[in-house]
Amino acid sequence: MAHHDVAKIIEIVGSSKEGWAQAADAAVRTASKSVKNITGVQVGGMTAQVNSGKISMYKTTVKIAFGVDD
Residue-level pLDDT at 70: 64
Q: For Cα atoms 9, 1, 22, give the angle at the middle one, nearest 5 degrees.
A: 50
Q: Mark 49-62 as b/e (b = at least 16 C-beta within 10 Å).
A: eeeeeeeeebbbbb
The number of C-alpha atoms within 13 Å of 3 and in the hemisphere containing its C-beta is 1
Hey, what CATH topology would domain 7-67 get?
A: Dodecin subunit-like (3.30.1660)
Q: Determine the length of the chain.
A: 70
Q: Tell me what pLDDT residue 68 has.
A: 84
Coil vs helix vs strand at 6: coil
Q: pTM to 2 decimals?
A: 0.84
pLDDT value of residue 69: 76
Residue pLDDT, tens place only, 2-58: 566 788 999 999 999 999 999 999 999 999 999 988 999 999 999 999 999 999 999
